[in-house]
Amino acid sequence: MSSAYIDALKMLARRELSEQQVRQRLARKGHAPEDVEEAVTRLKAERALDDSRVAAAIARTETAIKRRGRLRVKQQIQQAGISSDVAKRALDTIFEDVDEAALLEAALGKRLRHGRSIEDDREFQRLYRYLASQGFESDRVLKAL
């Protein structure tokens, strides 16, 4: 067993990582490119490394726990180095079960506590920027505000 494989297993034991993340971390640890390739190939064959599973896990976390919108979730998945077609499949699967309007209302409610209303234009703009940065589409944000 190569030390790159062992190091990768240790990384994956802590949390789900994409193929690109594993490659980068093994390279940073100083493993030779051929050892990294061998370790990744073996991990994929053993199904310990699966980008579609990682994409689904990121999407679930971002929507259920962090209450983020589709655009932000897609960005987080792509930052993990997962291809756009795998990201799209994960997004479509997760957002089948998620009420995006309720997600947006929950994010807005987090900022407007105790049933407060928007007091002025400055607060409106601040809320708009916040919701847009959380990955909600601008037309939905405007409608909610």
Q: Please state the three-class secondary structure of the chain as a single string.
A: CCHHHHHHHHHHHHCCCCHHHHHHHHHHCCCCHHHHHHHHHHHHHCCCCCHHHHHHHHHHHHHHHCCCCHHHHHHHHHHCCCCHHHHHHHHHHHHHCCCHHHHHHHHHHHHCHHHCCCCCHHHHHHHHHHHHHCCCCHHHHHHHC
Tens digit of each residue's pLDDT (9 = 90 or more) over 60-119: 999 988 889 999 999 999 999 999 999 999 999 999 888 888 888 888 888 877 667 777
